[in-house]
């Protein structure tokens, strides 16, 4: 390699490194699997790096209010990003819906849950020995609030209330069911499916008409206003490559 080529290569490498940046992202727990894939592709395609934190949207809201240095929020609802924008904690005009979530009633047992959710009705729970039903905290997690709406819609809430156990986020709820500490649980479809197939256990994919739509919005937070990686990530989420990954986990767009 000639000296000129070596200098050109070094210059290009230095320029690319200088342009690369890092963004800290607060991600709703239901979006864990697809976001891990997206972050990897984002890094490969742009050179930027996304540092991901997963949890309940309500908890992230409180942390952001208290000065947590997240640059981007990927919420499990559309209300939290709008609230942050209205309160001057997010950059106006940067909100958009990155996914429409789906709720599922799931069991690790492959024969426990029917495809109509009838397992919740009548005295089936007692007959099947179901003592615990997990859901995310409705005050912190939109998927938990949706689960409460579903049980109210079905008219089973009074009968199952004593069996409910709450996780701080949909991620913890999934853990309750996957470890069989709860026999049933309301989880995100993205946690138990890939390419349209339930990957483990048995599940009822809840009709979207039974709860408030799980419209999930992204927003640029104030601390990310001058962060090139934050702006690049929000654009990347709207690319065909990212959308393909999102759809693979059962989300609508």
Predicted structure pTM score: 0.87
The domain at 101-210 falls in which architecture?
3-Layer(aba) Sandwich (3.40)
| Mean pLDDT rounded to a whole number for the chain | 92
User: C-alpha dihedral over 200, 195, 214, 92, to 10 degrees?
Assistant: 130
Q: Is 16 exposed, middle or buried (0-12, 13-18, 19+ CB in 10 A)?
A: exposed
Domain boundaries along the sequence of the chain:
17-100+214-248, 101-210
CB atoms within 10 A of CB 115: 10
Is residue 48 within 8 Å of 232, Cβ to Cβ?
yes
Q: What superfamily in CATH does domain 17-100+214-248 come from?
A: Periplasmic binding protein-like II (3.40.190.10)
Q: What digits encode the pLDDT tens for the residues 188-215?
A: 999 999 999 999 999 999 999 999 999 9
Q: Do domains 17-100+214-248 and 101-210 have the same CATH topology?
A: yes
Is residue 105 within 8 Å of 185, Cβ to Cβ?
yes
* Confidence at residue 19, expressed as pLDDT on a 0 to 100 scale: 67
- pLDDT at 154 > cutoff 70: yes
CA-based nearest residue to 120, from 163, 83, 84, 61: 163
């Amino acid at each position: 390699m000639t000296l000129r080529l070596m200098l050109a290569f070094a210059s290009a490498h230095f320029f690319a490194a200088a342009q690369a940046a890092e963004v800290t992202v607060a991600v709703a727990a239901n979006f864990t699997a697809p976001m891990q894939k997206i972050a990897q592709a984002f890094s490969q395609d742009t050179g930027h790096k996304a540092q991901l934190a997963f949890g309940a949207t309500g908890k992230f809201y409180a942390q952001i209010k208290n000065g947590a240095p997240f640059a981007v929020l990927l919420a499990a609802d559309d209300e939290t990003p709008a609230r942050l924008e209205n309160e001057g904690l997010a950059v106006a005009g940067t909100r958009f819906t990155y996914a429409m979530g789906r709720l599922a009633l799931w069991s690790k047992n492959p024969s426990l849950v029917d495809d109509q959710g009838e397992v919740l009705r009548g005295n089936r729970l007692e007959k099947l020995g179901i003592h615990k039903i997990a859901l995310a905290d409705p005050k912190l997690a939109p998927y938990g609030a949706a689960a409460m709406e579903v049980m109210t819609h079905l008219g089973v809430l009074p009968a199952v209330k004593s069996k409910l156990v709450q996780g701080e986020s949909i991620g913890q709820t999934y853990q309750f069911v996957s470890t069989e500490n709860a026999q049933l649980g309301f989880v995100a479809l993205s946690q138990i499916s890939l390419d349209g197939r339930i990957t483990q256990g048995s599940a009822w994919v809840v009709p979207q008409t039974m709860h408030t739509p799980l419209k999930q919005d992204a927003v640029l937070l104030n601390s990310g206003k001058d962060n090139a990686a934050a702006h690049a990530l929000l654009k990347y989420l709207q690319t065909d490559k990212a959308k393909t990954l999102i759809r693979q986990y059962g989300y609508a767009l």
